[in-house]
Chains A and B, each alone.
Chain A
């Protein structure tokens, strides 16, 4: 199938620390990448996106890094807060497929 089984890795961080969530994507032709946050009982919420002609993009408290050589994407969250606790998904799309394909997700737990 086009999705990976949901054996969620978990990242546990102390409130106030920085978090780094990693994602390996599958398609070297992918042009556009998105990070989503999903809280329990809710739909995925857009966090930040990046195009393949960039290697870094910053938002408010979040930074996305793209390494096309090794097909790796990361999401850095600065000064992690309890409200950041959620499952984080990376997603990729290529201009030839029109399909946004999600990775398997990482659960972020923030310890008070």
Chain B
């Protein structure tokens, strides 16, 4: 068990809808990262937060947004969902900004858009 908790485990929704994925990092970790894993892609970096502030951005669509709250949990909001957004969404956390130690991943949220 990595100590990173993601909810929900599964999410099925329709095109055009909006969903929120939640992540609780490991105790003491200040950084949270979001990754997307589709069938035809590897693990694609979306965005990183460090102690409540956005630190790095990857290929995150404008329809997607994230935030990290004062208690360090994070939410990833996906709106105007399309079929192609169906994927596994992973959250990871690390003690600092990621460079000085490995990221620890949760078991993901599987999103299915129908």
Contacts and interface: CB of A to CB of B under 8 A. Distances in A.
Interface of A: 1-6, 31-32, 34, 36, 41-46, 49, 89, 91, 93, 95, 97-105
Nearest to A31: B99
Given A1-B59, A2-B59, A98-B48, A44 B43 contact: yes
9 contacts: A1-B44, A2-B58, A34-B103, A41-B107, A42-B107, A45-B105, A97-B56, A101-B45, A102-B42
Contact of B42 (A31, A43, A103): A103
A5 B102 contact: no
Contact of B33 (A45, A100, A105): A100
Contacts of B56: 97-99
Contacts of A34: 102-103
Given A32-B99, A42-B107, A100-B33, A2 B45 contact: yes
Nearest to B107: A43
Contacts of A46: 2, 102-104
Contacts of A36: 105
Given A2-B58, A100-B33, A105 B4 contact: no
B42 A89 contact: yes
Which residue, B38, B40, B48, B103, has most C-beta atoms of chain A within 10 A? Answer: B103
Contacts of A41: 107
Given A98-B97, A99-B48, A99-B56, A105 B102 contact: no
Contacts of A31: 99
Nearest to B108: A43
Contacts of B90: 43-44
Contacts of A42: 107-108
Interface string B43-68: 11100100000011011000000000
B97 A6 contact: no
Contacts of B48: 98-99
